[in-house]
Structure 1
Amino acid sequence: MSPPTSRSPLDAAANRSGGPATEQPLISGDTGIYDAARRELHTVRDLLRFAVSQFVEQKLFFGHGSSNAYDEAVYLVLHTLHLPLDHLEPFLDARLTSAERDAVLGIIERRVRERIPAAYLTHQAWLGDYKFYVDKRVIVPRSFIAELLREDLAPWVENPRGVGRVLDLCTGSGCLAILAALSFPHATVDAVDASHDALEVAKKNVRDYGLDDRINLLASDMYESLGAKHYDIIISNPPYVSAKSMGKLPEEYRREPEMALASGDDGLDHVRTLMANATKHLYANGLLIVEVGFNREGVERAFPNIPLVWAETSVGDEVVFIVDRETLAAAH
């Protein structure tokens, strides 16, 4: 199994949930099934089967690193046993100590009973090959902008080494700021968030990647505290869940900070702020890159006079738009 990659946009999750999360059945208070598992299950294979059965029976929602019960079960079992995430087969029939069995069943039980996203249970989230620390102070990283950064934003950025300044608005865990710093080796990155708690998590991730000297963490409500700073590139994966969709989110998403999800009636409050003020902070020919979930139609309806470029990602061309400073300036 490869490390899980979080990719599920939030509005899509809400639309797939089929109704309020409170309608999802929860396992009864009787712990008998877990007591029986502790007595009768002995191997990695046993616990993997048990986890998949529980996840399916209890109708868990997946979207914070894996997309199905099997992949999530494999990830949680291997992680808890400190085994390589890409080497399941050699260990399937290995017998576990009672302490190991208790640890695995404990994390399975928490995932089922409390609907806690797997990333919060393991304190790990992945974007492609890059691992980040996460906890309940930040949204679990999942961004299609990461796919574009993997290609150094080609073809829109012709010379990655020529990029000098990057702004990551709504940085959360700092994952996109870190990926930007890795893509643009000569750039200084300002990573901005309104949440001081989120910036503490970002600080840990920046240190883990040894990028303290290139990434500045700033507390600010969007552009508010940036003064006259200018950038070659502004990237943002802002809150973009509509009020209606917030009411439909599965319980797993309700474990995340609400301020990292909700963005007004139509989910575009933060996007409007991004668009309205970008020209004040972009150099000539600078780029604004924004993720909006599967809401291309809503964005184009909100900004009919701005010709946006929609980037092709693994899920199509509906989730990330790109626009340059000159196009924005001409529309205002």
Structure 2
Amino acid sequence: MTTNTTDAENRAAEDATERESNEKTTGAGMTRRRTLQLGTLVGAGSVLGVAGIGADAAAASCDRPDSVVHLDYDDYDSWEEIYRVSNGDRDNMTIVSDPTASGESALQLRVNENQHWGVSTHYDFEGGLFELTGRVSFALNTNWTMGGRNAPSNCRLWNCAIALGEGSAGGGDPDGTNGWSNRMYVTDRGADPNGPFHLLSNTYHMGNGDGTGDHTYLIDGEEYAQGSPEIEPGVWYDFEYYVCVNTVTDGEANADGIVRYWLDDELIFERENFKFTEDYDDNIIDTNGPVGHYGGRYTAPQNLYAYYDDHSMALNGEFEFDSC
């Protein structure tokens, strides 16, 4: 692959500098003019989700998922036709012709030397979702490095599921009504600063009130980790994520929210006891998408580049599921 070459100690680093905007309409217009949805063209605006029904009812339906969306970057003149921006510099993202995982185009996301933010982007779901399954191919540039400090370093690569609000990111305290999130990071914890690297799942959820999110390093021996995958710079990986909100009984959240990750079809993370929400109207899954954010109180040691291709989403369901 040819690429552009131009725990406790980390939790303090996830500070307010990475707070997500809770505005749902900032950034470029979301035309989605060539997004395929089960073979039909999706019109302007965000994809319609399912709102106003309980999670149990949604899970019991035979019509799952509601729809499948595949974003073929070959079909877009600008990535801003697909995603909006909440943080960072939109100039840090571009469509490139090399490298790609498939087709003729991929996204390149840059985090500049001595900076935190690349850019945080969002594909929004109008009305919200109870379940989201996503797939994306990603790669790190060939000379990606995370050296320069004694403690481990983290860089966020993907917003897996966010309910927008002040509880969803740096310094936030999710209370069941004010946002929550799950994000995937690359980390040099337990790794050489020049790789191969490991992955990290970070979740803001009810009961995690220290304002930093709940970290699970995907390393053998860590609770909920299902292995210790290694991420080599310059290699494409297929990442799949599944997030399902918890059920609610008499206005109280049940501890049954789910997050799962797969890497190249191997289950690498599974946790099924999250409390995300007590509000099905305004605090379910609003958005997901590519992001680059390095550290919090430490910055990128050099220009870093991440690449993304073939972003697909199953809305309110999974790509494959058993018949009723």
Query: Which TM-score tier does this pair reach, normalised by the shorter chain?
Result: under 0.3
Whose radius of gyration is greater, 1 or 2? 1
Which structure has more helix as a fraction of its residues?
1
Compare relative contact order (CA 8 Å, sep 6+) and give the higher one, 1 or 2.
2
